[in-house]
């Protein structure tokens, strides 16, 4: 284990939380040159794991590379940390009401069905579509719990995974539960490449998912897996322009200023496949269509630095 990975694996949660909230400025790392040489080769031996905080994140940032690995004969798995069961906008647009726990869980189940449809369109088999079922908007809070505390979602009123088709139904919303369940997913998938959100993302669930993946990989450094980061909530007005602009490249987000990401160029067919998968997310397109469609671009961006 390198000194850098060892530090990440043993970093106090207070420091991780400070990094996630932007209260600590990390020392500048090496700037990447950009280009496909900054991503590992993709082929039949690739085992790709996409870490998605919510249903739709995997499509927004990784649908192109998912299709490429599938077409090359490699394995692709997706793990959704939450089921997206805390979206007031969805509840207002779909149910015309604010949250009730039963309705929130129904929303989570619906978004899981949409995720399965999208993943299937991208070529990911059902057995590799993995839902952890942790609480939307609660992941960072769980990551910062002490070892004896349990979190209860204010949306679903659940203190344990409430979804029967999750990987570990009934597992408690604890820090140990979150870390151990994620490490079990890593052991099951045996990835050679992990794509996870950057801890610089503005959304706390995304920051927490990035920290979770970084620390877990550091603890299993002997696996040989490589980790690359992507971003969804990258700064006000980004990505720009909003809406569907086929053939237009994605620009680097303001929140990753100082890091030059590797550029993964999609084929026209991969762009079309990404759009088809995104259209499976009816709940999200109802209220966020211009923002979501802005990720259907001719490129996807992945950084080696968190």
Consecutive 10-residue averages of pLDDT for the chain (306 residues):
42 43 34 52 97 98 98 98 81 56 92 98 98 97 96 96 98 98 97 98 98 95 90 97 96 94 97 98 94 98 92
Q: What is the pLDDT of residue 263?
A: 96
Quick one: pLDDT at residue 51?
A: 98
* pLDDT above 90: percentage of residues in the chain: 78
Picking from 249, 209, 239, the residue whose alpha carbon sits closest to that of residue 34 is: 249
Which of helix, strand or coil describes residue 141? helix
245 token code pair: 């602009």
What letter does residue 227 receive in the DSSP assignment?
A: E
pLDDT value at residue 10: 43
Among candidate residues 197, 216, 173, the one with its CA nearest the CA of residue 303 = 197
Q: How far is the C-alpha of 26 from the C-alpha of 158, rounded, in Å?
A: 35
Q: Is there a domain that residue 239 lies in?
A: yes
Distance CA 128, CA 134 (A): 18
CATH number of the CATH domain containing 58: 3.40.50.10320
Question: CA 78, CA 126: separation in Å to the nearest integer?
Answer: 10
The reply to whether 79 falls in a domain is yes
Q: Return d(Cα 179, Cα 142) in angstroms, integer.
A: 10
Closest CA to 262 of 226, 207, 304, 294: 304
* 269 three-state secondary structure: helix
Does residue 198 lie within any of the structural domains?
A: yes
Q: Is residue 235 part of a domain?
A: yes
Cα distance between residue 89 and residue 91, in whole Å: 5
* Dihedral over Cα of 191, 229, 238, 259: its sign: negative
Question: Is 21 part of any domain?
Answer: no
**What is the number of domains present in the chain?**
1
Residue 122, pLDDT score: 98
Asked if residue 146 belongs to a domain, the reply is yes
Residue 184: how many other CB atoms lie within 10 Å: 15
Beta-strand ranges (E) seen in 53-199 are 75-82, 129-134, 193-197
Q: Which domain holds residue 56?
A: 3-11+43-302
Measured CA to CA, the distance from residue 157 to residue 210 in angstroms comes to 25
Short-list 150, 149, 209, 204, CA closest to 185: 209
Give the model's pLDDT for residue 134: 98
The answer to whether residues 226 and 79 touch, using CB atoms and an 8 Å cutoff, is: no
| CB atoms near residue 237 (< 10 Å) | 9
Read off the tokens for 60. 């927004």
Asked whether residue 33 is assigned to any structural domain, the reply reads no
Query: Pairing state of beta strands 75-82 and 47-52?
Result: parallel
Is the bond preceding 241 in cis, omega lying within 30 degrees of 0? yes
Q: Is residue 20 part of a domain?
A: no
Residue length of the chain: 306
């Amino acid at each position: 284990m390198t000194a850098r990975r060892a530090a990440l694996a043993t970093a106090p949660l207070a420091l991780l939380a400070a990094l996630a909230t932007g209260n600590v400025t990390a020392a500048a790392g090496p700037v990447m040159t950009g280009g496909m040489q900054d991503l590992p080769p993709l082929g039949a031996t690739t085992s790709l794991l996409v870490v998605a905080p919510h249903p739709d994140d995997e499509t927004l940032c990784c649908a192109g590379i998912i299709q490429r690995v599938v077409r090359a004969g490699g394995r692709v798995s997706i793990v959704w940390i939450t089921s997206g069961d805390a979206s007031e906008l969805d509840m207002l647009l779909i149910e015309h009401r604010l949250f009730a726990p039963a309705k929130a869980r129904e929303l989570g189940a619906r978004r899981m069905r949409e995720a399965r449809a999208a993943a299937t369109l991208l070529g990911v088999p059902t057995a590799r579509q993995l839902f952890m079922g942790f609480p939307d908007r609660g992941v960072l809070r769980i990551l910062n719990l002490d070892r004896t505390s349990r979190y209860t979602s204010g949306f679903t009123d659940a203190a344990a995974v409430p979804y029967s088709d999750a990987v570990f139904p009934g597992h408690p919303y604890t820090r140990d539960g979150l870390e151990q369940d994620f490490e079990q997913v890593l052991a099951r998938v045996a990835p050679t490449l992990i794509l996870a959100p950057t801890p610089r993302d503005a959304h706390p669930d995304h920051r927490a998912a990035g920290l979770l993946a970084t620390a877990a990989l550091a603890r299993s450094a002997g696996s040989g897996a490589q980790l690359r980061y992507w971003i969804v909530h990258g700064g006000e007005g980004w990505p720009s322009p909003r809406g569907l602009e086929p053939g237009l490249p994605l620009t680097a987000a303001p929140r990753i200023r100082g890091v030059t990401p590797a550029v993964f160029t999609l084929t026209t067919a991969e762009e079309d496949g990404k759009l088809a998968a995104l259209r499976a997310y009816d709940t999200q397109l109802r209220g966020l269509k211009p923002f979501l469609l802005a990720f259907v671009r001719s490129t996807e961006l992945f950084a080696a630095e968190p």
